DNA sequence: TCCTTATTGCAAATCATTTGCAACTATCAT
DNA sequence: ATGATAGTTGCAAATGATTTGCAATAAGGA
């Protein structure tokens, strides 16, 4: 309901067109709480309209990315594919469970300190940072302990 | 000279074979200070023996990765290709200049605090972390200031 | 020196994403 | 409403990155 609305606004502002395909893709993205690959998103979208093609998914995602409404990221998980993050505005960080592949978002102000220290030490300007932690999520950790421990 | 030696040791320990191709690839990796893609590494390797094939590069890199002697990472730079980091043992972090695409390594103990805080808040177990900062390196920043401002 | 079997080069396959194009359709001006 | 204009779609083929099957080759131990 949020990304959908903002995208709608920007489509109207430029001379683009709101098509049924785009509407379905946007609404599907809104309803998702995960970070889907293009193919995963296609699967969800095709539950509503099975004629929508993968290339339309990509074209819509790339436009949203250019608008700053989603971010594409690649995690070091099993897939080598890009995952699309609809919660774009506002930097946040990720934990990836290497067992169940769940992605958990988090925030931590210490990242700002890391950026500042790097800038001081090197004279560089840091525009944004990516932090990804890998390990076992709470659930998988419990499951492992219960089973083998 | 370092990775070469360690790899040599492990080859001898298992029942693998030290071939001239592998020796050249290992020595080239040792001499590099950058984080090459497979193709970039191939270029350097072919300066010594132009008959060495890309698939041999990949096979050697994947073996080194399995041995924990290099790490494969994907940065959000212009290429979508994996970059291979020979400085594997010991976690360290990266800055990527979005102008000249230079990669600068750094370390910061605050990352440990971030990991610890995440573990406390979620009950997860964090095994390792990836931190990549993006921006303008010191040189590119100076160049930009001198030119436009 | 000979055998065994790991390794190589090459071509073809696979995976993820992009692009060209003809058919289609949203939007706007009659 | 109707038609013209130009953005958009589905599909197939192209591209870029990496992997795999296979026959020929060559390490390294007997
Ligand atoms: Mn996210
Ligand atoms: Mn590194
Ligand atoms: Zn898990
Ligand atoms: Zn730079």
Q: What is the CATH number of the domain that holds B139?
A: 3.30.1490.190
Task: Kindly report which amino acid residue has its CA closest to the C1' atom of nucleotide C26.
Answer: A17
Tally the domains of chain A.
Answer: 2
Domain co-membership, B137 together with B94: yes
pLDDT in tens, A73-130: 999 887 899 999 997 678 999 999 999 999 999 999 999 999 999 999 999 999 999 9
Rounded to two decimals, the pTM is: 0.91
Q: What is the CATH number of the domain that holds B66?
A: 1.10.10.10
Three-class SS state of A135? strand
pLDDT in tens, A119-141: 999 999 999 999 999 999 999 99
What is the pLDDT averaged over residues B38-66?
98
Directed axis angle between helix B38-46 and helix B54-66, to 10°? 120
Three-class SS state of A42? helix
* Integer CA distances (angstroms), B40 to A87, A91, B86, B117, B138, in order: 35, 32, 14, 39, 25
Residue B3 tokens, joined: 């990775």
Residue A111 tokens, joined: 């990242």
pLDDT in tens, B114-129: 999 999 999 999 999 9
Instruction: Give the bridge partners for B73, in sequence order.
Output: B83
Task: Kindly report which amino acid residue has its CA closest to the C1' atom of nucleotide D27.
Answer: B17
Three-class SS state of B125? strand
Residue A1 tokens, joined: 């309901």
Q: Quote the pLDDT of residue A1.
A: 62
Contact criterion met (CB < 8 Å) for B125 and A141: yes
pLDDT in tens, B81-100: 999 999 767 899 999 999 99
Domain that holds residue A127: 90-149
Domain co-membership, B22 together with B75: yes
Strand D contact nucleotides, protein CB < 7 Å: 6-12, 16-21, 26-28
Domain co-membership, B111 together with B137: yes
The DSSP 8-state label assigned to residue A98 in this structure reads T
Domain co-membership, A71 together with A126: no
Domain co-membership, A82 together with A42: yes
């Amino acid at each position: 309901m949020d990304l959908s609305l903002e995208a709608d606004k920007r489509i109207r502002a430029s001379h683009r067109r709101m098509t049924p395909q785009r509407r379905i893709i946007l609404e599907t993205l809104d309803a998702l709480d995960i970070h889907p690959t293009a193919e995963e998103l296609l699967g969800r979208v095709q539950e509503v309209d099975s004629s929508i093609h993968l290339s339309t998914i990509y074209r819509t995602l790339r436009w949203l990315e250019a608008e700053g409404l989603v971010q594409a990221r690649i995690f070091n998980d099993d897939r080598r594919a890009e995952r699309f993050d609809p919660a774009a505005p506002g930097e946040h960080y990720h934990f990836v469970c290497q067992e169940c592949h769940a992605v958990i978002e988090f925030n931590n102000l210490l990242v700002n300190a890391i950026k500042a220290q790097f800038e001081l030490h090197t004279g560089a300007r840091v525009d944004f940072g990516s932090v990804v932690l890998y390990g076992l999520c709470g659930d998988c950790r419990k499951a492992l302990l219960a089973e083998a421990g």
